[in-house]
Amino acid sequence: MIKIINKIKPLSPTLREKKRYLVYEITAGKKFMFNEIKNTIDSVNLRFLGELGMARAGIMHIDNLYKENKGILRVNHKYVNELKISLALIKNINNEQSATNSHQMMGYDRTSTMFSPDGRLLQVEYAKKTVRQGTSAIGIVCKDGVLLVADKRILDAFIVPDSIEKVYQIDAHMDATASGILSDGRVLIERAQVLAQQHRVTFDAPMDTHSIVKEICDMKQQFTQYGGARPFGVSIIFGGVDYKVPRLFVTDPTGIYFEYKATAIGEAETEIKEILLKRYKESLLIDDGIRLCIEILKKVLGKEFSMERVDGAFIKSEDAKYQKLKKDHIKRLVKE
C-alpha cells in the first residue's frame, strides 16, 4: 500500500538537526485525504513503537507538501529503520472494516471513559459481546404472572447440577437471571437484594421492580463513566409483580434498561427472539410459558439439551410470591 520512492536524506539546515525525511507514495488507485493517511500511519506507528517510541522518534507529517497520495515524513535519524518497517505493515488506509482495530491501536479501548473519534466507548461494546457469549435466558410476561427460564450449561460431568444457580430471588415478589460474566451478575443481584430488604425495613412495604432496576442501572452506568474500573460484563433480566401487575425488564452493560413483554439474552438471543415473535401471546398462562420455554431451549441447544440444564422460577400475579421451577413440574407439563 505504501511505497518508499526515495532514499532517506538529511533535512535542510532550516529544520532541526539529526532529523531525516522520507518520501512515500500510496500505490492504491483511490485518492486519499491527508488526514486519512496521517491517522493510519500514526495508528500503525503507535502499535509498533509504543507511546514512548513515538515521542522519541518525533515523527511529523509535512502536510503542506502532500500531493495526490504522495507525502513526506520527518523523523529522528535513529528511528529511520523502525519507521520503514512500520510503514511496510500498512495494508489498508481508512478501511471501515478495520476501524475498531485502528481505534485499538490508538488506545481508545484502554479505558471505558474514552470516546473513540466516531463516538464509541469500545470497552462498553466489548462488555456487550461478553453477554452474547453467556448462556441463554428467557423472560416472559404471562396473563397470570411473570416467568424466567435459563440454561445452566453444565461444562463438567462432575459438577453437581443443583450447585449452579441461574435464576435468583431478589424479594418475595421479584426475581432475576443473568447472562455474561456471572460473578459480575452476582454482585449486582446481591446489591438488588440488599436494596429490596432496606426498603422493606424502612417503609414496611415491598420495593417496586422498576425502582430496583433503575438503581442497578445507575450502578452499571457509573462503571462506564469513571476511571479505574471496567464495565459490568453482564445483562440481567428482572421479573416481578407490582400491585398484581407482572413486569419484565432487561438491563445491559451500558446502564440502559427497557421493559418487555417477552425477551431473551445470551448466546442464542437472536434465535430465541425470532421464535418468541412467532409464538408469544399475551394470553399465555405460566404453564403455557414453561412449555414454550422448554421447546425453545430444546431447539437452540439441540442434542445438548437436558432437564439438568434448566433453571427457572415464576411469580403469579394473585399472590406475588416467588416460586422455583421444579423438574417434576416441568416434566409433567411437557408430557401433557
Separation between Cα atoms, residue 142 and residue 271, nearest integer Å = 21
Q: How confident is the model at residue 94 (pLDDT cuts 50, 70, 90)?
A: low
CA distance 108 to 123: 9
Identify the band that residue 261 occupies on the pLDDT scale cut at 50, 70 and 90.
very high
For residue 98, pLDDT over 50 is answered with no
pLDDT at 1: 52
d(CA 289, CA 45): 56
Residue 290 is predicted with a pLDDT of 96
Beta strands in the chain (DSSP E): 2-4, 9-10, 19-26, 60-61, 70-76, 137-142, 145-151, 167-171, 174-180, 234-242, 245-251, 257-259, 262-265, 310-316, 322-324
Residues 128-335, CATH architecture: 4-Layer Sandwich (3.60)
Residue 139's pLDDT band, with cuts at 50, 70 and 90, is very high
The CB-side HSE value for 125 (13 A sphere, CA atoms) comes to: 13
What was the pLDDT predicted at 6?
46
Measured between alpha carbons, how far is 284 from 200 in angstroms, rounded to an integer?
32
Tell me the domain boundaries of the chain: 2-107, 128-335
Residue 62's pLDDT band (boundaries 50, 70, 90)? confident
Instruction: Quote the pLDDT of residue 248.
Output: 98
Give 23's strand partners: 72
What digits encode the pLDDT tens for the residues 18-54? 567 777 777 666 677 777 777 777 777 776 777 677 7
Query: What was the pLDDT predicted at 313?
Result: 97
For the cut 60, the answer to whether the pLDDT of residue 213 exceeds it is: yes
Dihedral sign, Cα of residue 26, residue 28, residue 29, residue 34: negative
Tens digit of each residue's pLDDT (9 = 90 or more) over 279-312: 999 999 999 999 999 999 999 999 899 999 999 9
| Cell triple for 34 | 491527508
Q: Which three cell numbers stand for residue 22?
A: 522520507
pLDDT classification of 97: cutoffs 50, 70, 90? very low
CA distance 150 to 171: 19
- Residue-level pLDDT at 92: 60
Residue 303, φ and ψ in degrees, nearest 5: -70, -20
* Alpha carbons 285 and 217: distance in angstroms, whole number: 30
pTM: predicted TM-score of the whole model, two decimal places: 0.70
Cell of 115: 470516546
- How many alpha carbons fall within 13 Å on the CB side of residue 276? 24
CB 56 within 8 A of CB 79: yes
Which CATH code fits 2-107? 3.30.70.3250
Q: Is the pLDDT of residue 14 over 50?
A: no
Supply the mean pLDDT for the chain.
84
Choice between 159 and 58, residue whose per-residue pLDDT is larger: 159
Q: Is the pLDDT of residue 111 over 50?
A: yes
In the chain, what is the straight-line distance between the N-terminal and C-terminal CA atoms, in Å? 66
Rounded CA separation 60/73 (Å) = 6
Q: Looking at residues 159-182, what average pLDDT do you find?
A: 95
pLDDT of residue 13: 45
